Amino acid sequence: MNPLLEKFNTKYTSSPFQEIKEEHYLPAFQELIKTSEKEIDDITNNPEAPTFENIIEAMAFSGERLDRVSNIFFNLNSAETNDEIQKIAQEVSPLLTEFSSKISQNEKLFERIKSVYDQKDSLSLNEEQQTLLNETYKGFVRSGVLLSKEDKKKLDKINMDLSIKSLQFGQNALASTNAYFKHIIDKEELKGIPEAILQQYEEDAKEKGLEGYVITLQYPSYLPAMTYAENRELRKELALANGKKSFDGGEYDNQNLIKEIVKLRQEKAELLGYKNYADFVLEERMAQSPAKVFEFLNELLEKATPYAQKEIEELKSLAKADGIDDIQSYDHTFYAEKLRKQKFDIDDEELKPYFQLEKVQEAVFGLAGKLFGLEFKEINDVQKYHSDVKTYEITENGNYKSLLYADYHPRKGKRAGAWMTSYKNQYKQNGENSRPHISVVCNFTKPTKDTPSLLTFQEVTTLFHEFGHALHGVLADTQYPNLSGTSVKWDFVELPSQFLENYCYEPEFLKTFAKHYQTGEILPTEKIEKLSQSKSFMEGYQTFRQLGFGLLDMAYHTKSDKVADIKTFETEETKATNLYPSNPETAASPSFSHIFQGGYSAGYYSYKWAEVLDADAFQYFKENGIFNPEIAAKYKILLSSGGTKNPMELYKNFRGREPEVESLLKRAFD
């Protein structure tokens, strides 16, 4: 019996993780693709005249089982992968791409869709139905349904190649991250690194059967070494290893894959009638055009330049006092931490005891309760994919709202970073509101035998960020699964996540949860005030860093013909944002998974775009009370609406006007 092909007889029809074996995946995909093809054939060949219900709505609800199995498989390929799962992914991805192409290039089906679309002005459709109809029609056109037979074949091949190469890029980046570790015997080499971190390094060494200490490129291991290690040569070696991920000419090198991916994307765009891939992507974003994105990024760059330069000069002065005349990028985090301590008397290690993971999670749960009336209860009768994962039942007014999986600690089969994802979308059908299953995945330091998992303040904001995304999914209340939750314009999707981060800096809120894990003592008021004041610390540098990634992303997708040498191209396109000398042995692009594996291609600017939205939205709360129930109720409508309306319309309904870039500049640089 294959559990993926059976009805999920589990609580809330949750994923039966413990029953699934690797050999179940491929047969399940093969069978469910056939089932989904049959559903599409039935819609296409329906003898009745095409209507919104029997074409557009029927398509929106088709393939539900295939979507669920895809979510399970690809989520685990990020959070709990192994060689076998990665091998299956290489087999499955082309099957799904081929299936998707068959649908999107089905001319007979498109004729029926067009028949409904042409009648749209005479149909009595509500706003969500109109959106679904428009998105369905546009989706087919943008997928090449109007191309000639020969060009459709070309597009099929491009899509197939892209799916395989993007997957390979991510696998290489993960393997390259896992391949490196620094083994240290002499504790003196680790001078400056706090004892709690050293305990973690000892645990990591024991896991590898080694004496002494082990530092890896996993974020909770790498960042503390770069922040506190007085040993400059160690910082240099670690930074070099991190910067050489998939850029060392070895087995996991991604340089050729980058060239192939951007070339294929350009070919796809031209085939569909666009000048470049950025034009193709941005047609469906709030920004709408590369020119608008470049204008936006360059405006911010101009505003941020004096602040970033001033910050670097301050760090140079600190380094000079230590006898360093040639401050490098691998010195940045170390001296930034020194400067932060000097300016605000804030030390991450001093703060960490006040941010126990469980207490921070309680705080974010409590905030969701205060703003949106949600309640969270840990449950143990839902299957998990790993023992680290915790499961929560979310209710509102006693009614089941969502299932939440929380997965917080690094492990070998888990990619770096933090993300929110979903195992099941929300939708309404046959009088039932089918609720979502949401997952938050992070890489926080594991607890040791003596110490619970304690977070840096940056990790606190990371948890709030991902939980903001989660709320977008949890609160979803739409008719159709493909317009639900985070299924919004890509440059709108970061608003809920970045908005929630603002609460981490509010003294009124911090006092409710920043308590010492041993004594229960609240973080002293002066520290809370300093933490709040530190919100814009190194904001110029951070803005430059994000703008650099945004400009690099746009360059790859508007100048693909200029990508001959990866390092040369990257250096040239980011020179306006480079505050430190570039190291010829390192490059960011070969591990830039956001744009070469994830969905941020020609869209990395979205982070800064959404910062304007989140700064403007939170200013509205600040002016009227950060827990203001009337404003929270309006914001809840924005979150629950998903992609049913134009995002600017949604925002104006919430705020009463369009967002103003001055809100971000005021927060960042005032």
Residues 528 and 510: beta-carbon distance below 8 Å: yes
Residues 438 and 420: beta-carbon distance below 8 Å: yes
Closest CA to 110 of 161, 44, 174, 49: 44
Compute the radius of gyration of the chain from its Cα atoms: 25
- Which SS3 state, helix, strand or coil, does residue 515 take? strand
Residues in the chain: 670
Cross-strand partners of 419: 441
> Helix or strand or coil: residue 504?
helix
Residues 6+ apart with CB under 8 A from 487: 425, 481, 642, 643
Rounded distance, CA 608 to CA 547, Å? 8
Q: Strand 213-216 to strand 374-379: parallel, antiparallel, or no bridges (unpaired)? A: unpaired
**Do β-strands 374-379 and 390-396 pair in parallel, antiparallel, or remain unpaired?**
antiparallel
* Helices 107-118 and 127-142: angle between axes, nearest 10 degrees: 140
| 416, 218 contact by CB (below 8 A) | yes
Residue 64, token pair as written in the block? 């539900």
**Element counts in the chain: helices (H) and strands (E):** 27, 9
> What kind and span of H or E run contains 470?
helix 457-474
Look at residues 467, 405, 390, 465 and name the one whose alpha carbon lies nearest to residue 436: 405
CA distance 529 to 523: 10
Q: Tell me the catalytic residues.
A: 466
Residue 184: strand pairing partners: 213
Asked if 54 and 14 touch (Cβ cutoff 8 Å), the reply is no
Angle between helices 290-321 and 661-669 (to 10 degrees): 0
Q: DSSP string covering 144-199, please?
A: TTTS-HHHHHHHHHHHHHHHHHHHHHHHHHHHHHHH-EEEE--GGGGTTS-HHHHH
664 burial type by CB count under 10 A (0-12 exposed, 13-18 middle, 19+ buried): buried
DSSP secondary-structure letter at 407?
Answer: E
Whole-number Å distance between alpha carbons of 50 and 54: 6
Helix ranges (DSSP H) in 345-384: 348-351, 357-372
- Helical pair 525-533 and 329-344, crossing angle rounded to 10 deg: 130
Note the helical H segments in 245-356: 255-271, 277-282, 290-321, 329-344, 348-351
Which residue is it, tokens 């943008």?
142
Which single residue is written with the structure tokens 């034009």? 279
Dihedral Cα 113, 117, 640, 428, nearest 10 deg: -50
Listed in sequence order, the residues at least 6 apart from 594 whose beta carbon sits closer than 8 Å to its beta carbon are 549, 553, 600, 604
- State phi, psi for 142 to the nearest 5 degrees: -70, -15
